[in-house]
Structure formats: structure tokens, C-alpha cells
Amino acid sequence: MSSPPTPRTIALVVAAGSGSRMGQDLPKQYLTLGGKAVLRHCLDTFHRHPRIAGVRVVINPACRDLYDAAAAGLDIMTPVAGGRSRQESVRLGLGSLVEAAPDYVLIHDAARPFIDADTIDRTIDTLSHHAGALVVVPVVDTLKRGTERQGALFSGATIDRAGLFRAQTPQGFRFGAILAAHKAASTGLEMTDDAAVAEAAGLDVALVTGHEDNFKITNPADLARAERLMSEQMEFRTGNGFDVHRLIPGDGVIMCGVTIPWHQKLEGHSDADVGMHALTDAILGAIGAGDIGQHFPPSDPQWRGAPSWKFLAHAQKLVGDKGGRIVHCDITIICEKPKVGPHRAAMAAKLAEILGLAVDRISVKATTTEQLGFTGRGEGIAAQATATVALPATN
Ligand SMILES: Nc1ccn([C@@H]2O[C@H](COP(=O)(O)OP(=O)(O)OP(=O)(O)O)[C@@H](O)[C@H]2O)c(=O)n1
Ligand SMILES: C[C@](O)(CO)[C@H](O)COP(=O)(O)O
């Protein structure tokens, strides 16, 4: 007897809100957390989950550029436009999935970056027995109802907390059932979550115990908490790189993306930017991803004369693919001439631009070897670099 087919599950991420309670210029889902957009965190988790067949995001079309930057490089479905309320955004998102016709849909707030694979698994598992699966955490504090007298708040009553839970997301449902429930609810009172919409339609919604860390970023204090949690979950790694290029007759030396006019140039297969090569190797070293020669073999004609920012940007992308970010880079250029000092600031600015880092996270230094050795004799230029990278801790 063959086993039943695996249900197709799509994650529907609602990201069309304005984040008014956060009070920032950008909607909170596009603010940076741990080096990437808040939205990107949950997209990465759903996208790499083996039981999630697709990810659709509901956005405000006015934020399309912000969305494109946040979701760059991810192979997910085209985003769709949301509405004026969360409920309307979910309904529009569900409507956009009719053709894809998943068995299950997991509706998730973009503003909950700490959703984990295990909670996703337990939500999906629950849907094999129930029409809905709601991730919750139990209420642990004593609950009070406040009453106002003469402009001040007083404790009015103590509410029995037994059996009370706080609703999180994802909220998972059998697709056809929640689509019908949302359509039916569209003319009634606004509801703040999908479980309420499902309850109104008479669907059974089972509770799935979630995790306190899966909180929703709502106020500035939540963002500060998220940043603390994020840094606890990261580990720091350091890599070093070293490179040398020969000086030959020419009209300028390219180092760290800056051309210094000079009667010589650096010889190499690419543009021979010795500083960027050392830095690229340092970043690759920090994430255990081999060296520059493995990624861009000198034997490959496509890299002849290539600008080295491509190598650096590739190394940075690999860091991002691992959920990490570059924290700091330190480069030392070793040569007698041309003088590097007057160009250090421009070099740091160029590297900061390529890596999307604040310029104070980049250090460019220079030294001579007191006329000793090949650098001292002006036969070539060497560079060494150190890169510090934050990566999600693996154990
Ligand atoms: N019209 C809306 C409103 C909210 N959301 C999404 O629903 C989730 C939870 O909503 P909430 O925390 O209330 O987000 P905002 O509406 O953005 O925040 P605020 O209420 O502070 O404006 C968020 O991921 C938000 O982007 C949405 O897609 N469309
Ligand atoms: C769906 C939700 O995140 C569950 O806690 C919540 O209801 C979102 O809406 P709110 O307007 O921020 O309460």
C-alpha cells in the first residue's frame, strides 16, 4: 500500500503594515536586525524549511523597493498587494494562492523574525488532525483589569489566567477552509488574527505550544529585545587573507577599488587589486568557504581583467547565505610606493560601499618594509587582511 501524498504547504507572510506603533521612518519589517531586514529573517527560515513548498509575501506596493532589497536572491513567489488591515492583507494573500492550491497555508507576521523550524513542523503536523493550528504561549503573569478613577489607573479585578494563552503566528490552516472563512468574515467586524476568523466560521483550531522568543516586534523596546536576542544567537569568526602582485610598467595601481596614478601597475589576471583580494580571502576564511582561487580560477577567461569588487561582493553574499554578516574588516597594504596614506579614506569608503557597511567598520592601513625584501625593492605590493564575521551559532 502506498503512503498518502505529503501535503503541500505554503507560507503566507503578511508584511503590508505601516508599523505605526514603532514610530520609525520605515515600516518595522524593513528595519535592520542583525545585518538584514526584519522580514528577511522569517523568509530565510520558511524558505529553507524542507516542508515548505513556497513562500508568498503580502506587501504594500509603495514599499516594493524595500521588499526587493529585503528578499534579494531568494527564490520565492512574486509578492502581492495587501490591504488596509491585517485581516484584509491575509484575505488578499489567500486569494492569490487559489491557483497554487496548497493543502495547507501557514500565515505568519513579517514582524516575528524568530520563528523556528521546530514550531513550523509542529504546526504542520497538527493540521493532519485539525482544520487549524494556532501557535500560542501560556499566560504566566497574574492578570489585572485596570479601572480608571479621577485620571489614575487602579487594579479593578484579578482575572483567572487558567486556560489563557497569547496568540502568536504562524497560524496554520487547511487552505480551502481558511480561504472560505476569510471571505465570509470580510463584511463583518475586523479581527486581529486568523484563528478568530476560523473560530467565527466554526473551524476547530488546535493549540500548538510555541516559544517566548517568537514575539512580535511592535514597539521600540521589542526591537531592542530582538537585537539582544539576535546577538546571543550569533558567534564571531575571524579569517585572514594575504596576497601579492608584481609591479610592472603602467599608468596606475588599483588598490581597494581606488586607482592611484603611478608609472607602474599591478600585474594579474583580474584587475590585480591586491587589497580586495586579501580581504576577499579573509572573508572566505572566516566562513570556511575556501579561497578566492577556488571561486574565481585564474584559468577561467571570464575573470580576465575583472573588477575585483565582484569577488568581494561574492564573498559577502556567501556570508549572507549563511545567515551571517560582516562585522569588521582590517587591511594592511605593504609597499614603499606609491604612497597609500592620502588614499586610505577613499579606499575605506569604497569597501564600505561594496559591502554595505558603515565606514567605521573598515580599516585600511599601510606600512613599508624599510626597503627590505621584494616590497622594499619595489618589485611588488603585498596586502594582508582580517575579517570578522557574525554567523548564527550552530551549537
Ligand atoms: N494592513 C496591514 C496591517 C498589518 N499587516 C501585517 O500584519 C503583521 C502584524 O501586524 P502589526 O504588528 O499590527 O503591524 P503593523 O500594522 O505594521 O503595526 P502598527 O499596528 O503598529 O501600525 C505585520 O507583519 C504587518 O506587516 C499587514 O500585512 N497589512
Ligand atoms: C496575529 C497576531 O500577531 C497574533 O498575536 C496579532 O493579533 C497581530 O495583531 P495586533 O494588531 O498587533 O494585535
Same domain, 315 and 354: yes
The answer to whether 248 and 267 are in contact (CB under 8 A) is yes
Find the ligand nearest to 41 CA.
1
In this structure, the answer to whether residues 201 and 277 fall within a common structural domain is no
Percentage of the chain beyond pLDDT 70 is 98
Q: Which ligand is nearest to the CA of 171?
A: 2
Q: Is 169 in the pocket of ligand 2 (CB under 6 A)?
A: yes
Distance from Cα 116 to the centre of ligand 2, integer Å = 18
Is the distance from the beta carbon of residue 20 to the nearest atom of ligand 2 less than 6 Å? no
The answer on 334 and 208 residing in a single domain is no
Q: How confident is the model at residue 15 (pLDDT cuts 50, 70, 90)?
A: very high
Q: Is 114 annotated among the ligand-binding residues?
A: no
Domain of residue 193, CATH code: 3.90.550.10
- What pLDDT score was predicted for residue 60? 98
In a domain, 361, yes or no: yes
Per-residue pLDDT tens digits for 144-189: 999 999 999 999 999 999 999 999 999 999 999 999 999 999 988 8
Q: How far is the CA of 84 from the centre of ligand 2 (A)?
A: 14
Task: Please check if 367 is assigned to a binding site.
Answer: yes
Q: How far apart are CA 324 and CA 34, in angstroms?
A: 8
- Report the DSSP pairing between strands 80-81 and 54-59: parallel
- 375 with 367: CB under 8 angstroms? no
Do residues 298 and 332 lie in contact, with contact meaning Cβ atoms separated by under 8 Å? no
- Predicted local confidence at residue 326, as pLDDT: 95
Question: Residue type at 79?
Answer: P
CA R_g for the chain: 27
Tell me the per-residue pLDDT of 222-241, one tens digit each, with 9 for 90 and over.
Answer: 999 999 998 888 899 999 99
**Which of 179, 200, 232 marks a domain boundary?**
232
Rounding to the nearest 10 degrees, give the CA dihedral for residues 284, 288, 289, 290. 90
At 1 the pLDDT is 62
Domain-ending residue, one of 207, 232, 257: 232
CB 259 within 8 A of CB 252: yes
In this structure, what C-alpha cell is assigned to residue 187? 463584511
Residues 190, 173 within the same domain: yes
pLDDT of residue 235: 92
In the chain, % of residues over pLDDT 90:
90
Residue 131 resides in a domain? yes
Q: Do 191 and 58 reside in the same domain of the chain?
A: yes
Task: Write the secondary structure of 259-325 as one string of H (helix), E (strand) and C (coil).
Answer: EEECCEEECCCCCCCHHHHHHHHHHHHHCCCCCHHHHCCCCCHHHCCCCCHHHHHHHHHHHHHCCCE
**For residue 395, with 0-12 CB atoms within 10 Å meaning exposed, 13-18 middle and 19 or more buried, which class applies?**
exposed
Closest CA to 71 of 58, 52, 89: 58
Residues 307-357: tens digit of each pLDDT: 999 999 999 999 988 878 899 999 999 999 999 999 999 999 999 999 989
Domain shared by 224 and 342, yes or no = no
Ligand 2 centroid distance, CA of 199 (Å): 16
Contact 250, 233 (CB under 8 A): no
Q: Whose CA is nearest to atom 3 of ligand 2?
A: 168
Assess whether the C-beta atom of 21 lies below 6 angstroms from ligand 1: yes
Measured CA to CA, the distance from residue 177 to residue 59 in angstroms comes to: 23
383 and 330 co-located in one domain: yes
Q: Which atom of ligand 2 is nearest to the CA of 216?
A: 3
208 lies in which domain range?
Answer: 9-232
CB 392 within 8 Å of CB 35? no
Of all protein residues, the one whose alpha carbon is nearest to atom 1 of ligand 2 is: 193
Provide the grid cell at 97.
494562492
Give the ligand at the shortest distance from the Cα of 190: 2
Which ligand has the shortest distance to the CA of 193? 2
Q: Is 369 annotated as a binding residue?
A: yes
Instruction: Say if 215 falls within a structural domain.
Output: yes
Quick one: which H or E segment has residue 179?
helix 175-185
In a domain, 49, yes or no: yes
* CATH code of residue 358: 3.30.1330.50
Q: Are residues 306 and 201 in the same domain?
A: no
What is the per-residue pLDDT for 323?
79
Which pLDDT score, from 0 to 100, does residue 395 have? 45
Asked if residue 113 and residue 238 are part of one domain, the reply reads no
The count of other CB atoms within 10 Å of the CB of residue 327 is 18
In this predicted structure, what is the pLDDT of residue 28?
98
Residue 143 resides in a domain: yes
* Whether residue 207 sits in one domain with residue 264: no
Could you tell me if the CB of 83 is within 6 A of ligand 1? yes
Could you give the CA distance from residue 214 to residue 111 in angstroms, rounded to a whole number? 10
Is there a single domain that holds both residue 153 and residue 241? no
Which of 232, 251, 283 delimits the end of a domain?
Answer: 232
Query: All 3 cell numbers of residue 140?
Result: 504566566
State the DSSP code for 26: S
Ligand 2 atom 8 nearest Cα: 192
Ligand number with the minimum distance to the CA of 222: 1
Q: How many structural domains does the chain have?
A: 2
Question: What's the pLDDT band for 2 if we cut at 50, 70, 90?
Answer: low
Distance from the CA of 173 to the center of ligand 2, in angstroms? 17
Determine whether the annotation assigns residue 10 to a binding site.
Answer: no
Give the model confidence (pLDDT) of 58-103 as tens digits.
999 999 999 999 999 899 999 999 999 999 999 999 999 999 999 9
Mutate to test the pocket of ligand 1, among 109, 192, 197 (most ligand atoms within 8 A of CB): 109
Give pLDDT, residue 393: 81
**Residue 1: inside a domain, yes or no?**
no
pLDDT value at position 298? 86
**What is the distance in A from the centroid of ligand 1 to the CA of 265?**
55
Kindly provide the b/e burial profile for residues 198-213, where b requires at least 16 CB atoms within 10 angstroms of the residue's own CB.
Answer: bbebebebebbebeeb
Residue 3 lies in a domain: no
Q: Name the packing angle between helices 344-355 and 274-286 (round to 10°).
A: 40
E-state strands within the chain:
9-15, 32-33, 36-37, 54-59, 80-81, 104-109, 132-138, 143-149, 152-159, 165-174, 205-209, 234-249, 252-255, 258-261, 264-266, 325-334, 362-367, 380-392
Largest Cα–Cα distance in the chain?
86
Whether residues 209 and 310 share a domain: the answer is no
Specify the DSSP element, H or E, that contains 210.
Answer: none
Residue 57 beta carbon below 6 angstroms from any ligand 1 atom: no
Using most ligand atoms within 8 A of CB, pick from 12, 14, 28, 67 the residue to mutate for ligand 1.
14
Q: Is residue 4 situated within a structural domain?
A: no
